[in-house]
Amino acid sequence: MHAHSTAANARALRSIYRRLFRAFGPQHWWPGDTPLEIAVGAILTQNTAWANVEKSIAALRSRRLLDIEELARLSPTELAPLIRSAGFYNIKAARVAGFVKWLRAHGGFAGLRRRTTPELRTLLLSRDGIGPETADSILLYALARPVFVIDAYTRRILSRYGLIAGDEPYEDLRRLFESSLPGTAALFNEYHALLVRLAKMSCRSRPVCDSCPLA
DNA sequence: GCCCAGGTGTTTC
DNA sequence: GAAACACATGGG
């Protein structure tokens, strides 16, 4: 039963990707220009609407603080008011500050790029305030490593189409995606972006709305 | 005014 | 382990 449903799920996942790509085209996703900005955004967006994160990113940018050395100079107390709009700002200020210090100690993104993906993932997950989704977002979108990001959008959309229950453990879903698809960062990036695009089309009230490419 | 949003860590059974 | 809770703003 497992063998069959796994293979069927894998086919369904590939089919969904094809249909979304045909409907929406390439997304080139993560709203952020540099690896640092992407990583900071990944922390700030934890359980938070992206619109609120954007304001915080803009505040940092306008002060020329989207820079490892500049950010590392700030204490969590100094950082907190700047990222107020992202919510949970005390906790996130500590997380961003901790991450930046760690990043600098590891030679910045150039230093990280010398490590293997499993090694990096373990390192990231051992940081306080960096869980599986934040770690994988940084790995995929800031470092172009082939890991599939499982987030609320992924769970919501795939469960809406009956492919998953939605409450499976993170690692189970990550394995499902990674074992069902060609394992390239470009594809994982596009796929996740397309799921978000579909989710934001918001046929929220109905199980499947008529204009959905997957309907 | 209430509910939710691109999570994570801690506490509790 | 699973479940409940804290963390907080801004938009619908």
In angstroms, the CA of A114 and the C1' of C3 are apart by 40
Stronger pLDDT, A210 or A100, i.e. the higher one? A100
Instruction: Examine the pLDDT at A201 and tell me if it is beyond 90.
Output: no
* Nearest-nucleotide field for A43 (CA, C1'): B7
Rounded CA–C1' distance between A47 and B1, in angstroms: 21
Q: How far apart are CA A215 and CA A207, in angstroms?
A: 10
What value does the mean pLDDT take over residues A176-186? 96
Q: Please report, for chain A, the start and end positions of each structural domain, with discontinuous segments joined by +.
A: 2-29+151-201, 35-142
Angle, CA of A73, A74 and A80, to the nearest 5°: 165
Listing DSSP states for A122-151 in one string gives HHHHTSTT--HHHHHHIIIIIT----PPP-
Nearest-nucleotide field for A48 (CA, C1'): B5
Task: Strand C: list positions under 7 Å from protein Cβ.
Answer: 2, 7-11
For residue A102, say whether its CB is under 7 Å from any atom of strand B. Answer: no
Closest CA to A163 of A22, A15, A3: A15
Predicted structure pTM score: 0.95
Q: How confident is the model at residue A208 (pLDDT cuts 50, 70, 90)?
A: low
**Superfamily of segment(s) A35-142:** Hypothetical protein; domain 2 (1.10.340.30)
Query: Is strand C within 7 Å of residue A92 (CB)?
Result: yes
